[in-house]
Structure 1
Amino acid sequence: MNILFSTVGRRGYLVKFFREVLGPDDKIFGADNSPYAPGLVYCDHRTRFPKVTAPEYVGVVLDYCVKHKIDIVIPLLDPELEVLAAVKGQFGDKGIMVVISPPNTVEIAFDKYRTCEFGQQNGIAVPQTVLSPDEATERIAQNSLAWPLVVKDRKGSASMNITYCDDSPQLEAAFETCPNPMIQEVLDGDEYGYDLFGGLDFQPISVFCKKKLVMRAGETDKALSTDNPVLIEFGEKILKNLSIFGPCDVDVFLTKDGPKLLEINPRFGGGYPC
């Protein structure tokens, strides 16, 4: 079996985990836009791909996979997920499996407002979320929302473009400067992460939950596993209602009212398997 990590980055530890369970004849191929990506060191074969945004990206990856008889492609970088999800069928026609969820799932995951809509439509608790300062002010006047609030980029990642606001002037300023802004209540509680896995027909395979202890650049650096039945049931509900194929990293807060869904990343999490 030949496996390709299409943007290996610094995920050398993930390559090593795969090496431990693969057979001696199985090969791991690693690619990245940078020849200095540390994860490449742990791969049996290495190559450099163009940037995901380059028009030739898909063609280069597909040609490489065909030439080197790649069986499975595992994407790890957010920008490549949307691109590869859209062309997964082209790889499948060549007998190459891309471990990625369907385009609709990827779209739900990469738009935090759509993530909230998904939760609301499926009875999965999410933070109160609005798309304008006026709507936030109206809800505050109705006592259904309270300060502080947080302004986020709907399509942001790595904890970028996030501003906490204690009053209307701060909210207005943050909203004006944030790309693709949305406004959410600030959740009070402990943050947890899930490693969810779905099968070929999106059937649930496993739910692993961990309490986040230390964060680094928006990724989990240290965590403690938990078998809290409330959290496990919440993770199962997400997995059953979202078409997930392969790994999916999910962030939630455990509040006094129970778990609330925060973010979905349809790939191996940055801290996997911390």
Structure 2
Amino acid sequence: MNVLLTSVGRRSYLVDYFKEALKGKGQVVGANMFGNAAGMVAADIPVITPPANHPEYISFLADVCKKYEIGLLCSLHDLDVYMLSQNQQWLADACIAHTLPTAEWGRISLDKYECTRLLEHHEIPVPKTMVSMKGVLEAIRNGEIRFPLMVKARAGFGSLGLAKCQNVAELKAAYSAAADQALASGSNQYIPLPEDAMVLVQEAVSGREVCVGIVNDLNGEYRAHFACEVKTMRSGESDWAVSIPRAPHEEIAKKFSNMTGHLGIWGVDFLEDDGTYRAIDVNPRFTGDYPFHHLAGANIPRALVSWASGNDAPESCYSSTPGIAGFKDLVPKAVALCKE
């Protein structure tokens, strides 16, 4: 069986994890709109694609799947996930296993405000969240929301527009900058939003950041969860992290699994607030936190390959040892670039 990783980008480590999971009985096809990406160099077969919002993107991927006999597809970027989630019947028709969210969850997870409201409805704690600058300023005057406040793009990715504000002047400047960044990113082409509601404002939570990876099988049934504490970030992703005990997060992980019925692994980011973990982001894909779960003993690529092959995943795939610290290393390599 061959595996297709779309929008593979810099995730060369995931390519390697899937290669190890396949044990020489299949190849990893890396797809990306840019050939000079680490994941493309690591892939057995690199394929340069049109942008995810190109009208021929889906038909292009369908041809790639047919040509390389793909049995499993995983998307690794928010906008790519969204586009594929809205157009996935062709995967079912071709009997290709995948880890895409439903069309509804693809939209909800990209819209951080709607996602926050849905989590709150299901009694999953979240920070107080607003989108209207006028409403935020009124709430500040009324004492309903207090500084410090966090600002970020409502439909962003990679910490787009993220800023911490201590007063109204900083808030207004950050809000305007985040709106400009959101427009420049093109995310508004995927989910059109009113110009006065493109930015998210949340009460800042000062506690530690915990990332929980929640794993369902390809039937949407809960199988495991993992947790790590993020120590430092770089370029919008976890850079240093340490695995932590899973038991404190079991109830919320199972609640989330039941709520979404998702396929594969999703990453949910939490901030600790005096013992309460408040969800700040939902990512319906492998996230930049996954390698820290892998270093601690998990092996979700192997589980996915097993499930897509019609087999049960080994219990060892769900292992996790607390206290395993890890970091993402930078190792320069000389390579031959992919050609268009």
Shorter-chain TM-score range: over 0.9
Residues 102, 243 of structure 1: 8 Å contact kept: no
RMSD value over aligned CA atoms? 1.7
Give me the whole-angstrom Cα distance separating, in 2, the residues matched to 1:69 and 1:228.
37
Q: Note the alpha carbon deviations across 1:207-264, whole angstroms, 9 max, x for none.
A: 1010001211111112111115333322222222223111211110111051000000
Q: Counterpart in 2 of 1:209?
A: 227
Q: Counterpart in 2 of 1:42?
A: 42
Q: Counterpart in 1 of 2:66?
A: 66
Q: Counterpart in 2 of 1:267?
A: 285
TM-aligned CA deviation for residue 193 of structure 1: 0.5
The reply on whether 1:114 has 2:114 as its aligned counterpart is: yes
Q: Percent same amino acid among aligned pairs?
A: 29
Count of aligned pairs: 274
**1:210 aligns to what SS in structure 2?**
strand
Q: Counterpart in 1 of 2:15?
A: 15
Richer in strand (by share): 1
**1:73 aligns to what SS in structure 2?**
strand
Q: Counterpart in 1 of 2:264?
A: 246
Q: Note the alpha carbon deviations across 1:23-63, whole angstroms, 9 max, x for none.
A: 32222212221222222233222221112122111111101
The reply on whether 1:104 has 2:122 as its aligned counterpart is: no
Residues 211, 289 of structure 2: 8 Å contact kept: no
**1:63 aligns to what SS in structure 2?**
helix
| Amino acid in structure 2 at the alignment position of 1:253 | L
Q: Counterpart in 1 of 2:243?
A: 225
**2:205 aligns to what SS in structure 1?**
coil
Q: Tell me: CA distance 1:228–1:12, structure 2 relative to 1, closer, same or farther (3 Å).
A: closer
| Amino acid in structure 1 at the alignment position of 2:243 | S
Q: Which aligned runs of 4 or more in structure 1 are off by greater than 4 angstroms?
A: none
TM-aligned CA deviation for residue 89 of structure 1: 1.0
Residues 99, 218 of structure 2: 8 Å contact kept: no
| Amino acid in structure 2 at the alignment position of 1:206 | A
Q: Note the alpha carbon deviations across 1:150-197, whole angstroms, 9 max, x for none.
A: 222101111121232222233233334432112110112000101111
Q: Counterpart in 2 of 1:54?
A: 54
Give me the whole-angstrom Cα distance separating, in 2, the residues matched to 1:36 and 1:172.
38
Q: Counterpart in 2 of 1:196?
A: 214
| Amino acid in structure 1 at the alignment position of 2:98 | V
| Amino acid in structure 2 at the alignment position of 1:184 | Q
| Amino acid in structure 1 at the alignment position of 2:79 | P
Residues 151, 174 of structure 2: 8 Å contact kept: yes
**1:173 aligns to what SS in structure 2?**
helix
The reply on whether 1:79 has 2:75 as its aligned counterpart is: no
Give me the whole-angstrom Cα distance separating, in 2, the residues matched to 1:5 and 1:108.
22
**1:35 aligns to what SS in structure 2?**
coil
Residues 126-137 of structure 1 mapped to structure 2, 5 A cutoff: 126-137=126-137
Residues 209, 227 of structure 1: 8 Å contact kept: yes
Residues 127, 203 of structure 2: 8 Å contact kept: yes
The reply on whether 1:125 has 2:143 as its aligned counterpart is: no
Give me the whole-angstrom Cα distance separating, in 2, the residues matched to 1:127 and 1:40.
38
Residues 209, 232 of structure 1: 8 Å contact kept: no
**1:178 aligns to what SS in structure 2?**
helix
TM-score (norm 2): 0.76
Give unmatched runs, 5+ long, in structure 2.
Answer: 180-197, 293-340
Give me the whole-angstrom Cα distance separating, in 2, the residues matched to 1:21 and 1:176.
46
Q: Counterpart in 2 of 1:186?
A: 204
Q: Tell me: CA distance 1:176–1:12, structure 2 relative to 1, closer, same or farther (3 Å).
A: closer
Q: Counterpart in 1 of 2:92?
A: 92
